[in-house]
Every structure is written in C-alpha cells, then in structure tokens.
Amino acid sequence: MNILEVEKLKTYFFTEAGVVKALDDISFSIPKGSTLGLVGESGSGKTVTAQSVLRIVPKPGKIVGGSIFFEGEDLLPKKEGEMRKFRGKKISLIFQDPTSSLNPLFTIGEQLGDIVVQHMKLKKSEAKEWVIKTLKLAKLPDPENAIHSYPHQFSGGMKQRICIARALLLSPKLLFADEPTTNLDVTIQAQIIALLKDLQRDLGMTLVMITHDMGIVADMCKWVVVLYAGNVMEIGPIDKIFEEPHPYTEALLKAIPRLDQTKELVFIPGNIPNLIDPPSGCKFHPRCQYAKEICKEKIPSLEDIGDGHFVSCHRWKELNNRG
C-alpha cells in the first residue's frame, strides 16, 4: 500500500524574470513503511517536492496542478485549517539547514515544548517529559539538561539530533529528511544516517531521504525517485537503479565519492538548465552522452518497464541491450 501518491504535480515560481517550472508534471508514489530516496542535483526540485506535499511552498511559488494523495485523501483541495492537522502530526520535515531552522532566542525545551503544548494539549510538566523522551529517541546526550540550553550551545551534529526530535514530536507517519547530513563531517554524517535508519525501523515510519548522494541512497533506501530539472527521470527499486540506470542516474552514480579512492569527485559535465526556458525534448539532452536527434525534439514519457521500474528516456531500451 502507498502512503503517498503524487500525480502530475506542477509547482511554479512566478518570478519577475519569468515562470520557474520547479516541478513540471511529476508523479511518483511511496510505499508505506519504506525508505525512499529522492535524489537529483541542486535545483532539481527535491525541497520543493517536500514543500508541496506539506503545502508550505514559499511565495512566489504556487502549486498549479496535480494531486497529492496522503493515505487516499487529496491534500490539495484542503483548507489551510485542515492542512494543520497533517503538518507535523502525519507528515513531518527535517529542514535542510538545522542552524537556521532553530530559533536562537529560545531554549530547546521552550521551542520544542511549545509545539507539544499547542498540538497535544498536554500540561507543561507532561510536555516537558514528552520533549525529554523524544530527545532521547534522537539520542541527544543528557536531554534533562539540554532542554535548558540554547541552540548555539550545541555542535552541528547535536543540533541535527534536536531537529530530528522536533520533527518526531507529534509522531508523524511520513518523514521527509531534507539533506540531513549536509555540512556535517563524515563521522557525524554516519551517526545521523544510523539514527534515521533505527528510527525508521523502530517507529515503523515511512522515510523520504532527500539527497544528492547516491552512496547514502545505496546504504539506506529500498526505492528511489530521480529528479532532474523538475521532471522525474527514473523511479525504481534500488537494485534496478544500479543495474540498469537511466543515463542521468548513471551520471549521478559516477559521481559517488568513494572513501577508498583518492580520485576527485566526478561532476556531471554541463550546467543545470534554466527552468524558465528549459531545453526542448528531454531536458537532460544538452548534457547526455547518449543524446540523439529525437532527444531534442520529443519529450520522453515515463515508461513502465516492469518490477516497479519506470524510466523516462528514448534510448533506455536500446542502451540496456548493449550486452
């Protein structure tokens, strides 16, 4: 069963320079209880996807089409008041930047306690216990004392644990973790990944890992959705994505940093397209090593190739019969 089904979603930003088609007709679904990787380079639309599901797209952005079914209910026609019953409680988000998402003026106990008092209708003392319990879940050391400290008193890794706890306060069923390990050093990154894995398993939550790091995806995710310039390029189970990747995914895979290699990270040559006036046909064609005439002319459709694997590429079949 799917916990989330996104169909033909379009989210645009109406800027002075023109209309930025950040999500241009994307469809995918998330099996309940799974860990799904939402991957793509910077600007591909990962954060806007999470913002759209929660209906917190910042201005001048607007969802202009499609549907988002959460446990069978379409979220898009809901009034703002109804959406508040979903945010944090059913669907939650760990923001891309923990430092700016915590309020520097309040202690951890105050800011997390406020959320609990507002939404769970607990007394202050009960709220405090709940916050401490949740900080323990996120393995923050000494939570009884930590609640009296301010965000700047914690290291980057500890701040991220606090943000994870905050996202879990109201026991969501679906959690988006938006690049939760950016700006953390490698050892701390590994600890945060291990924590998210444990939480997903122990709480039976559905987890969406937003990342551009295919190494993290390989380590954590059963399913993958690959975005490029506001389009879905590929969807599939992790083994299929590695065995028979879409040309864009193949390029992302080559960019995995390997600890055993001194070789520098391989970047995909060329630039991410301008989303106001994107390339014709397959948006990846100016950078694709396999591009042919048809790729410039015709938009490929997302084709079902079996076993839950979908690809949007004119040449995928031919390329995967290379032998």
Residues that bind Mg ion (CB under 5 A): 46-47
- C-beta of 244: minimal distance to ligand SF4 in Å? 13
Q: Determine contact, residues 312/294, Cβ cutoff 8 Å.
A: no
Measured at the CA of 94, the angle between CA 73 and CA 239, to 5 degrees, comes to: 75
Structure tokens at 159: 């701040």
Strand order in 73-74's β-sheet? 18-31, 2-15, 61-70, 73-74
28-31: Cβ within 8 A, 24+ apart: 28/225, 28/232, 28/235, 29/2, 29/4, 29/5, 30/2, 30/3, 30/4, 30/5, 30/174, 30/206, 30/208, 30/223, 31/1, 31/2, 31/3, 31/206, 31/222, 31/223
- C-beta of 179: minimal distance to ligand SF4 in Å? 25
- C-beta of 284: minimal distance to ligand SF4 in Å? 5
Residues that bind ligand SF4 in the complex, under the rule CB under 6 A: 247-248, 282, 284-285, 288, 290-291, 295, 300, 313-315
245 binds, among Mg ion, ligand ATP, ligand SF4, none (CB under 5 to 8 A by kind): none
Q: What is the DSSP letter of 280?
A: S
Q: Of the two residues 134 and 249, which places its CB atom closer to ligand ATP in the complex?
A: 249
Q: Of the two residues 144 and 297, which places its CB atom closer to ligand SF4 in the complex?
A: 297
313 binds, among ligand ATP, ligand SF4, Mg ion, none (CB under 5 to 8 A by kind): ligand SF4
- C-beta of 48: minimal distance to Mg ion in Å? 8
Q: Of the two residues 14 and 133, which places its CB atom closer to ligand ATP in the complex?
A: 14
Residues that bind ligand ATP in the complex, under the rule CB under 6 A: 13, 15, 20, 22, 40, 42-48, 58, 61, 96, 212, 275
Structure tokens at 298: 């015709």
Going 130 to 134 to 139 to 140, the CA torsion angle's sign is: negative
- C-beta of 279: minimal distance to ligand SF4 in Å? 9
Q: Are strands 61-70 and 2-15 parallel, antiparallel or unpaired?
A: antiparallel
Q: Of the two residues 22 and 163, which places its CB atom closer to ligand ATP in the complex?
A: 22
Q: Of the two residues 109 and 247, which places its CB atom closer to ligand SF4 in the complex?
A: 247
212 binds, among ligand SF4, Mg ion, ligand ATP, none (CB under 5 to 8 A by kind): ligand ATP
Burial class from Cβ neighbours inside 10 Å (0-12, 13-18, 19+) for residue 237 reads middle
Q: Of the two residues 46 and 309, which places its CB atom closer to Mg ion in the complex?
A: 46
15 binds, among Mg ion, ligand ATP, ligand SF4, none (CB under 5 to 8 A by kind): ligand ATP
Q: Of the two residues 65 and 279, which places its CB atom closer to ligand SF4 in the complex?
A: 279
Using DSSP's 3-state secondary structure scheme, residue 137 falls into helix
Contacts with 201 (C-beta within 8 Å, 6 or more apart), sequence order: none
285 binds, among ligand SF4, Mg ion, ligand ATP, none (CB under 5 to 8 A by kind): ligand SF4
- C-beta of 146: minimal distance to ligand SF4 in Å? 48
Match 């060329």 to its residue by tokens.
270
